[in-house]
Amino acid sequence: MSENAGSRNPLQLRDQPETCRTADAEERSAWQRVIGRFADNCRARSLFVLHYCTGCGAIELPPTITSRFDMERVGVSPMVTPRQADILLITGYVALKTLKRVILSYEQMQAPKYVIGFGSCTINGGMYWNSYATIKQLDQYIPTDLFIAGCMPRPEAVQEVFLELMRMIDAGKANAWRDYYRNYDHYLANQQALFGPQWHTPTDIVAEAKHYGLMGPGTTGPHTRLLDQHAEWALDRIPEDYPERGENERSER
């Protein structure tokens, strides 16, 4: 069963006929559209990259940002915590343990947020295609805007992807983050497939979607109900056997 039920190829996502800018539902009034246009203009020119080296490709970032290629010319600068960051760079293969931290960081980042997959490992497994420990397609677990081919793309390629991302933001097309809210159940399904039904993160995505009006048809489904059933604890009273306990080697102590 090579085709995992419900998994959709993000590249096809690209080809969906998204006409110009009406994708953003609430931008109805002219005034909001002007504001939105200006906001997108500023968003494109001020990108904060999360300083999180998930894999081997991270070594390409310093030259991109420092004096030789100097991405600050176009407004890209590194930021330390996910709260302040806009772009999450997944630089190389993603082991299962790293994926948990990647998902946590992604959910702690504030929308609009963009994910760029470096190298072939994030596209289709790369040279670790037959490894039991790494994931093969990044976009099954978190929505990804752009991929860069190559087994570690050079700074020029990274520069090119930043410019491409800026063009997409300017055109209002970099909306993969909406997909996470709209089809959260799909992503959660993939995540739970890997980590088991107990899996959840402190961030409450469904409540966030409700709060900001980003609910979509796929936001809630069988898996989010599984999530609620497992997390019947209210956030106040996290039970002793919090699923991640084993993860943090609690038994070691």
Among positions 161-220, residues that touch another protein (CB under 8 A) are 193-196, 201-204, 207-208, 211-212, 214
- 29 touches another protein (CB under 8 A): no
Q: Which is nearer to another protein, 95 or 157 (CB)?
A: 95
- 227 touches another protein (CB under 8 A): no
CB atoms within 10 A of CB 82: 19
- 244 touches another protein (CB under 8 A): yes
- 42 touches another protein (CB under 8 A): yes
Q: Which is nearer to another protein, 196 or 222 (CB)?
A: 196
Structure tokens at 245: 């306990």
- 31 touches another protein (CB under 8 A): no
Q: How far is CA 94 from CA 27, 86, 249, in A?
A: 36, 20, 21
- 32 touches another protein (CB under 8 A): no
- 62 touches another protein (CB under 8 A): no
- 81 touches another protein (CB under 8 A): yes
Nearest distance from C-beta of residue 199 to another protein, angstroms: 9
Beta bridge partners of 117: 90, 147
Residues 6+ apart with CB under 8 A from 20: 171, 172
Of 27, 33, 56, 131, the residue at the interface with another protein (CB under 8 A) is: 131
Of 37, 72, 197, 222, the residue at the interface with another protein (CB under 8 A) is: 72
What would the DSSP string read from start to end of the chain? Answer: --S-TT---HHHHHHS---SSTTSTT--SHHHHHHHHHHHHHHHH-EEEE----SGGGGGHHHHHSTTT-GGGGTEEEESSGGG-SEEEEES--BHHHHHHHHHHHHHSPSS-EEEEEHHHHHH-GGGTT-SSB-S-GGGTS--SEEE-SSS--HHHHHHHHHHHHHHHHTT---HHHHHHHTHHHHHHHHHHHH-TT---SS-HHHHHHHHT---TTSSSHHHHHHHHHT-S-TTS--TT-GGGGGGTGGG-
Of 23, 53, 70, 127, the residue at the interface with another protein (CB under 8 A) is: 70
Number of residues that bind another protein (CB under 8 A): 80
Q: Which is nearer to another protein, 199 or 226 (CB)?
A: 199
Scan residues 137-156 and list those touching another protein (CB under 8 A): 137, 140
- 22 touches another protein (CB under 8 A): no
Of 33, 58, 75, 221, the residue at the interface with another protein (CB under 8 A) is: 75
- 66 touches another protein (CB under 8 A): yes
**Stretch in the footprint of another protein (CB under 8 A) among 136-144, 149-157, 158-166, 216-224:** 136-144
- 7 touches another protein (CB under 8 A): yes
